[in-house]
Structure formats: C-alpha cells, structure tokens
Amino acid sequence: MPHYPDEIEYSEKYQDDKYEYRHVILTKEKAKEMYKMTSGKRLLEEAEWRGLRVQQSLGWQHYEIHRPEPHILLFRRPLGTDPTTGRASA
C-alpha cells in the first residue's frame, strides 16, 4: 500500500557526475489530480507540477515515472544550474 503524506514531501538533493536529483512525494489528493491530467502515462510539464503546488527552485525537470509508486515524482537538473534562473552553467 502506498505511503501518502499529509503534506507534499521533498527529499534531500543527491547527485551523480552529471545531474542533481530529488524526489517529491505527493499527497493522495494531489496524486489524484496528477492522474487526472496524465493517466499516469506521461511526464509533467513545469506548469503542471507547479499547479499541483510542488515548490522548488528553477531548472528542475520531471524526468521519470516511478511505475510502482507514480505519486513519487522524480526530478533532475544539470549540475551547476543556477536556481534563480534555471540555466545550467556552460
């Protein structure tokens, strides 16, 4: 049975040699809203995940659907991304 928090939960950031990552766990209500938008079959655009009240700095992309638990959103952005502009360093 999936774990749905009372409020949206944000992981600490973690990274590899190319990207910075984090995951976000939606509440049951927000997960239902997301499913209505996507049927669990596509990634969310920035305006969509922000519309679900996910709050994070600029530059993050929803990059993968975690099939066993689609209410956990997986995000990444290139290392060196400026969080105020969303632009990656060259």
pLDDT averages per 10-residue partition of the chain, 90 residues: 91 97 97 93 96 97 92 96 89
- Give the integer Cα–Cα distance in Å for 29 and 34: 9
Residue type at position 3: H
- Predicted local distance difference test score (pLDDT) of residue 90: 66
Residue 52's Cα: distance from chain center in Å? Answer: 10
- Predicted local distance difference test score (pLDDT) of residue 75: 98
Let me know how long the chain is: 90
- Predicted local distance difference test score (pLDDT) of residue 66: 87
